[in-house]
Amino acid sequence: MPHERCHRCHTILTSEDKHWYGVSCEECEQDYRYEEWERNRAVKSAYWRWRAVCFGVRFLRYYPAKLGSLLLHKLRRQSGKRRSELRHDRRK
């Protein structure tokens, strides 16, 4: 009866390895999970950095302009009133 071997390091698998890990031994499975974790971590951290940069740019573009328009709102209303008064006076 041939023994089943790990698909990476070709060691003979025990019945416990077969039950928990399928076609790999415990060490190879841990190595594989660590490699996968490292690979995914780089992608996720780059994604979150990109999101943070986009949020910062959006914040710097939108909020100062919004704040400026709120502060200048009364000034615009006053200048609008003056213009309408001037137009009304010119028509008379």
Q: Is residue 7 one of the residues assigned to a domain?
A: no
Q: Is residue 34 one of the residues assigned to a domain?
A: yes
Q: Is residue 72 one of the residues assigned to a domain?
A: yes
Report d(CA 7, CA 60) in Å as an integer: 53
Q: Is residue 8 one of the residues assigned to a domain?
A: no
Q: Is residue 36 one of the residues assigned to a domain?
A: yes
CA-based Rg of the chain, rounded to a whole angstrom?
Answer: 34
Report the pLDDT value the prediction gives residue 89, as an integer from 0 to 100.
62
Report the pLDDT value the prediction gives residue 26, as an integer from 0 to 100.
80
Is the pLDDT at 87 greater than 70? The verdict is no
Per the structure, the complete domain to which residue 74 belongs is given by 15-91
Domain count, the chain: 1
Q: Is residue 70 one of the residues assigned to a domain?
A: yes
Report the pLDDT value the prediction gives residue 69, as an integer from 0 to 100.
76
Give 13's DSSP letter.
Answer: P
With a pLDDT cut of 70, the percent of the chain lying above it is: 82
**Interval 57-65 mean pLDDT:** 79
Confidence band for 21, pLDDT divided at 50, 70 and 90:
confident
Q: Is residue 61 one of the residues assigned to a domain?
A: yes
